[in-house]
Copies of this chain bind each other. A is one copy, B any other.
């Protein structure tokens, strides 16, 4: 397999640009009445015109049958083996609220929960308390001080928060306190290695103090912690590919993932037109752009077939300005499928197309699941997209003598 070490030795800096447009969850399944998928049902002249000039295919984000979470789905698009480079739940939650993690920080995902008098969990989500009440309680917990680590407690939504531990010689090798079901007490946090003993003691002390602080709240009278993790040691896109990459996305988690791999996260507006404008404004400053369109996934998760079709049509209209910029390499694909008929992420492979002066066009004339299957790439692992993009941008030297 071509490793990052090999890549580093053959990548070169050139003025050419790569734009990677991710339609989150774009892949779908046929509507039971029409037999057409969301993509087939949508009116999408720009996507189809691009498909006619492109090298097409279907990607497997992780591997056949595996439904990726958002992190693995995106990591493989960025060229990282999503199995080798896993991102802990705590870190992902922190990225999702725009927390800037230092490399040594330990992050855990926290839940407020309800325990009865005997300490047994009766509700793992404390009645899904309000986000406002969550913020009030986090302000109280944030005041907790423990020798050996600075403690931060940052609210997310409803019952969710992030616990950050910052200090010397901490380790994330800890077992969860969250038993993942009611009817049990919270588990003691155990260290999984000698060097995590100190961190385990700090985490247990935090839980103990939090329990005291919260004891009079009728619902949120306890906390559960899971996914202790640290910023992964991940080689950066600038380092591997000699690219200067920027992300254009409004969702904190994707901004965080992008920063994690060395991208600048550009400020931008809510509307897709704002994001295209951001691209135009910064077009001369970067040579790799990751653009993220969330609506296709959100409407798929809602189980709303027609709304997902409309989201595709909205993206199609916005695509015109991206096509007119004419980047040397333009890729449109998704991080996974979210069929409206399933109302969730799925394992189905995702349509892919790459337009460049140097692509060998195939006979595909439509951006859809069945059409892309007959494309020049056939079905292939998403992790191969970055080498393909680099090749078509003429940013790779020959491999071997």
Contact = CB atoms under 8 A, between A and B. Distances in A.
Given A63-B1, A361-B30, A370-B363, A378 B377 contact: no
A66 B360 contact: no
Contacts of A70: 401
Interface of A: 1-2, 6, 10, 29-30, 37, 62-72, 82-83, 86-89, 92, 227, 342, 345-348, 358, 360-363, 369-370, 373-374, 376-380, 384, 386-392, 396-401
B69 A401 contact: yes
A401 B89 contact: yes
Copies in the complex: 2
Given A64-B380, A373-B378, 11 more contacts: A6-B83, A64-B384, A64-B387, A68-B399, A69-B400, A82-B399, A87-B401, A88-B401, A348-B360, A377-B379, A378-B378
B400 A65 contact: no
B65 A390 contact: yes
User: Which A-B residue pairs are the 7 nearest by beta carbons?
Assistant: A65-B387, A72-B400, A69-B400, A65-B391, A65-B388, A347-B391, A64-B384
A284 B396 CA distance: 44
Contacts of A360: 29-30, 37, 348, 369
Given A2-B83, A29-B358, A399 B64 contact: no
A174 to B, nearest CB: 17
A401 B30 CA distance: 27
A399 B72 contact: yes
Contact of A399 (B10, B66, B374, B391): B66
21 contacts: A2-B83, A29-B358, A29-B360, A63-B384, A63-B387, A64-B384, A64-B387, A65-B388, A65-B389, A65-B390, A66-B387, A68-B400, A69-B398, A69-B399, A88-B401, A342-B358, A346-B358, A362-B373, A363-B370, A378-B378, A379-B380
Contact of A400 (B86, B363, B378, B380): B86
Nearest to A29: B360
A295 to B, nearest CB: 20
Contacts of A373: 362, 376, 378
Name, among A361, A387, A388, A399, the residue most crowded by chain B CB atoms within 10 Å (CB to CB): A399
